[in-house]
A and B are shown apart, each in its own frame.
Chain A
Amino acid sequence: MTDADKKLRDSQMILGLEEEVAPATLPDEGLDLRVAPRKEPQTPGEWIKDNLFSGPVNSIITIALTLFILWFGSKVLHYVFASADWTILKVNFRSYMTGRWPLEELWRVWLGTYAIALLAGLSRGISVIPFVFSRRRLVVLGLVAAAALLVELYVVTTLFTHALVAGLILTIVLGIYLGRRFRDVIPRRAVLIAWIAAYPALILLLRVGGPNERLWSGFMVNLIVATLAIFASFPIGVLLALGRRSTMPAIRYFCVGVIEIIRGAPLYTLLIFGVFVLPLMLPPQISKPPNIVLAVIMITAFSAVYVAEIVRGGLQGIPEGQYEAARALGLPYRKMIRLVILPQALRATIPAMISHFISLFKDTSLLATIAILELLRQARRASAALGFAGRSMEALLPAALLFWIVAFSMARWSQRLEKRLGVGER
């Protein structure tokens, strides 16, 4: 890859243009493309002709779609601002987020959120990737912020909660500031370790002295179960992947069997197994664990085999020469894997891993089928309340939007990361 290419890629990243960039916008210094005739910049009229009315078929499509968008858009706007009654969201917002978590223990959740916000701000602050304020990005950010503010003002009712939300934003800003300020003092590794340590700390904060697992509910559960499962399944998945490529038949067949059986079964079946069969496999003196614990175990198992397949893909991408070189250096198996093979293999799997994580996060909605009060189930419960007959959509859509926002932003972030890492290019 030439420098010019790199520059082009950076500029695309900065502009937030994930898609095709017309050759006309290429920087022309040192590029072979110079020989191509340069396009004159298009006038809006030309753009419309090229992109919307380039032929009879195209024109028909454009007109039909415009009509459709106008019709559908007006329906949506009418629904959102006129016919829908969002009281159900206002009344239930806390139960969407934390469900049956007792009010007097809510400080644990807030404290955890603040800690994560500070860490997130810090990591952004010490990161060397500059934040570029392109116009398009500013517009999008402004719109999102305005919408978020509108929702916050509608949903949050007490002054104290308003203050907490404002404090959360300030904490992120503080984190960014601190990170910038002490960029050279804080080692990046320390932040990484803090992230890894934050997770068990958060669970301890919520659990020790706090409400028991049966009261855990709401969106909180989706987030916790998804992260817990991905963290727990990662080492298991790596071991399974290595086992699948082992030269020892007993280990290889065992791993292949485990991976294929779990991968062939739908997650819902695994959850049924977890709820109905797994407790019976425990020694009789142990009482039945709460459903959420069983669910985490099964989702971890489910996730581990997918992680294993992703890691296997990464391992297969490592040329044989790397193994040979490591052996030639006299590295024993464990050192070879840890120092030479895994670092390269795992780097190549980052995008696939993130998209697996996104789908795992979405799959946490399946907990609703085994009577865990996660977001989807909370939304359905809310709409079953007597006062809100016929308001189910108002209960469901915000929940869907919440899932969507998290999944979509992760997907976007992963696309950027993928470009920055240049996976498949090095």
Chain B
Amino acid sequence: MATAVTATKPPPWRDVRVLRVAGQILFLLIVLVVVRELWLNLEFNLRRIGVELGFGFLDRRAGFGITEGIEYSPNDTYREALFVGFVNTLRIAIPGIVAATLIGLFVGVGRLSPNWLLRKLSLVYVEILRNTPVLMVIVILFVGVILPLPPIGGGFSIPNTLYLSNRGMALTTVRPTGGFLPWILFLALAFAAAAFVWRWRTRVNERTGEPHHRVLYAVPAFLAVAVIGAALTGPLRLDVAGLGERGFNYEGGFNLTAQYAAVFLGLVLYTSAFIAEIIRGSIQAVSKGQKEAAEALGLTPFQQLRFVVLPQAMRVAIPPLNSQYLNLTKNSTLGVIIGYADLANVAKTAINQSGGASYQIVLILVGTFLVLSLTISFFMNLLNRAVTRKGAAR
């Protein structure tokens, strides 16, 4: 009996379970040894050129200027400089995602239009942008479109309101004051009021069958409360744009630099071509019968698209859209080629300025982009779940 058992049990060096565990331990050991070797080299080399190893440099004075974004002076710390860069990255990424989606949607639908000319033109748009490096798109827009605009002083302007030139754009805008925080309470109240009115109209519609006009009732309700609140708290002030004293720059208002415009436009156009293809693909993925059924119900072409085809296409489109949004965010680093001060550009300057705090800054960079990617994916997953659940309930 005992001999039979030992006969079927292989020796440890041929036992799969033992081998698997041993193999993994060996693998981890190799990884550890390699990583340790790299780290020791890094430590040694950094010591040799006299660079500190930790993150202490973050609190030192940065000493370089950033021409873009929120308030900052060269006397601020590295931490603040990197934060300015981070905000600049978001300033490209968030409006960029919205704009690219809108243009992409438009062009993608255009690819399927019954109008031959529109179809072909959309195709040309997509094929031109999709096959050119995005860096090239940004540079060409900067050199070929933004810089040839008239210089400051000339150019398009509505005095004290809007200025456009090759130095960028200045627009009179509103800024929050001390009364802004209390006003948020009023906004919440306004939202609640609007929701209440909305509910009430829905009920009226359900009970009596008369048209609900929910939007017509809810929007004024919201505005009324919000405006009364604004009158009480004074949350916003006007920030008037104008030329600087010597006429070399803009002062006040909402400012966009020429670099921002080029990076933004470049990324939006480039990404919209890919989004258009996603939209087209996912609309085509909706079975033909759905559209025919909608047509048979007497929906207009717009209604067919809005209520039948697009909601179903959304489900197919969301995962690839997510990866395009991530690409756009990551590509915002390419502004470096024309000197847009995004996070990566500031980081590069910081590496040079700090005398070699390189690995720390690269760690911060990679970490930040990981967090950004995860955040975008998180929201897209939420959206995805909402869309699929809606479909399942029906």
Contacts and interface: CB of A to CB of B under 8 A. Distances in A.
Interface string A266-278: 1111001100110
B115 A61 contact: yes
Contact of A404 (B38, B132, B348): B132
B344 A264 contact: no
B115 A62 contact: yes
Given A272-B344, A284-B48, A65 B117 contact: yes
Interface in B105-120: 113-118
Nearest to B139: A396
Contacts of A69: 117, 121
Interface string B147-188: 000000000000000000000000000000000000000000
A368 B330 CA distance: 17
A358 B274 CA distance: 14
Which of A58, A266, A393 is most buried by chain B, counting CB atoms within 10 A of its CB? A266
A161 B111 CA distance: 43
A208 interface: no
Contacts of A87: none
A351 to B, nearest CB: 13
A65 B120 CA distance: 11
Nearest to A65: B117
B305 interface: no
A269 B362 contact: yes
B128 A404 contact: yes
- Chain B residues touching A, majority SS: helix
Interface in B89-132: 113-118, 121, 127-128, 130-132
A292 B20 CA distance: 40
B362 A273 contact: yes
A297 B136 CA distance: 23
Interface in A216-273: 248-251, 254, 260-261, 264-269, 272-273
Interface residues of A, number: 52
Contacts of A265: 330, 365-366, 369-370
B276 to A, nearest CB: 15
A282 B48 CA distance: 13
A139 B74 CA distance: 61
B384 interface: no
Contact of A264 (B336, B348, B373): B373
B144 A251 contact: no
A52 B46 contact: no
A376 B118 contact: no
B41 A272 contact: no
Contacts of A393: 140, 143-144
Contact of B133 (A249, A260, A272, A365): A365
Interface of B: 20, 23-25, 27-28, 31, 38-39, 41-42, 44-46, 48, 113-118, 121, 127-128, 130-136, 139-140, 143-144, 330-334, 336-337, 344, 347-348, 351, 356, 358-359, 362, 365-366, 369-370, 373-374
26 contacts: A58-B115, A61-B113, A61-B118, A62-B115, A65-B115, A248-B24, A250-B24, A250-B27, A251-B27, A264-B370, A269-B362, A272-B362, A273-B362, A280-B41, A280-B358, A281-B39, A283-B41, A362-B132, A362-B133, A365-B133, A365-B135, A368-B135, A383-B143, A396-B136, A400-B132, A407-B130
Given A250-B25, A273-B366, A362-B133, 14 more contacts: A61-B113, A61-B115, A264-B369, A264-B374, A266-B331, A269-B365, A276-B362, A284-B41, A362-B134, A365-B136, A376-B133, A403-B132, A408-B127, A408-B131
The 8 closest A-B pairs by CB, nearest first: A266-B330, A51-B116, A250-B24, A407-B131, A276-B358, A362-B133, A365-B133, A268-B333
